[in-house]
Amino acid sequence: MSKLADTVVARLRAGIVDGSYPPDTRLTEAGLCRDFGVSRVPVREALRHLEAEGFVVSRPYAGVRVVRFGPDEAADLFAVRTTLEETTARRAATRVRDGDLPGRTEHLRDLVAMGSAALRDSPDEVAALNTSFHATVADLSGSTVLVSLFRQVAAKIEWLYAMDVGVRGPHSWSEHAAIADAVAAGDPDLAARLMGEHVQASLDGYLLRHAPS
């Protein structure tokens, strides 16, 4: 929509995701105005946007707080992500099989290569590449609705990962490679199954780290 409000959304979301604004933080409009050097109108619009995305909650006349994000919400999020991404992978592979996609699967393989390389060279870029990989699959599905729903889930997944420190098992990119192959080969069932297992593995890893019970 507007220029400034969008940058405030991006910066504030980044601040929430990277921990500058931890969960339960009370966000005052005046404080954010100081933080970002803008006036209240863009801040208000940004807060409303982030509320729609589920990063903050706002009780009328009682301020805006960063939401808590515990294992329960994480499990819920991963469960939804599983069905969502199985669908993106299945539809992407279907479109490849039907020839609806001219050589657009190249990009996917490039991302896998870059991700594998980044595992050694620049570990801090791995998370972004991971996001790009999944976003690309969603894009290949050709469904704008799917893309927009996925974006919302992905933003929170990113948050989840940012709260952990040195996660992301290295095996992750071999799974990505297998998914890319299945999509490029136009095998919907295989792509969906691999994607489902991949997401499930991520969830298992997360729960393993955060389930002392």
CB 46 → DNA: shortest distance, Å?
10
**Residue 73 identity (one-letter amino acid):** E
The smaller minimum CB distance to its own copies, of residues 149 and 162, is found at 149
The site map against its own copies for 112-151 (x = CB under 8 A) is -------------------------------xxxx-xx--
CA quadruple 35, 39, 44, 49: dihedral positive or negative?
negative
Span of 39-47, 123-131, 175-183, 194-202 interacting with its own copies by CB under 8 A? 39-47
**Residue 105 identity (one-letter amino acid):** T
Which of 14, 18, 19, 41 touches its own copies by CB under 8 A? Answer: 41
Which of 23, 38, 135, 177 touches DNA by CB under 7 A? Answer: 38
Q: Which does 27 bind (CB under 5 to 8 A by kind): DNA, its own copies, none?
A: DNA
Q: In the chain, helix, strand, coil percent, each to 5?
A: 75, 5, 20
* Tokens read off for 210: 């955060």
Confirm if 29 and 44 have CB atoms less than 8 A apart: yes
Which of 44, 97, 168, 210 touches DNA by CB under 7 A? Answer: 44
* CA distances for 96 relative to 91, 112, 193, angstroms: 9, 18, 17
* CA distances for 12 relative to 36, 48, 123, 182, angstroms: 9, 12, 24, 37
In angstroms, the first-to-last Cα distance of the chain is 45
The smaller minimum CB distance to DNA, of residues 11 and 104, is found at 11
Interface with its own copies, residue 10, by CB under 8 A: no
Residues that bind its own copies (CB under 8 A): 1-3, 5, 41, 44-45, 47-49, 51-54, 58, 60, 73, 76-77, 79-80, 83-84, 86-87, 91, 143-146, 148-149, 152-153
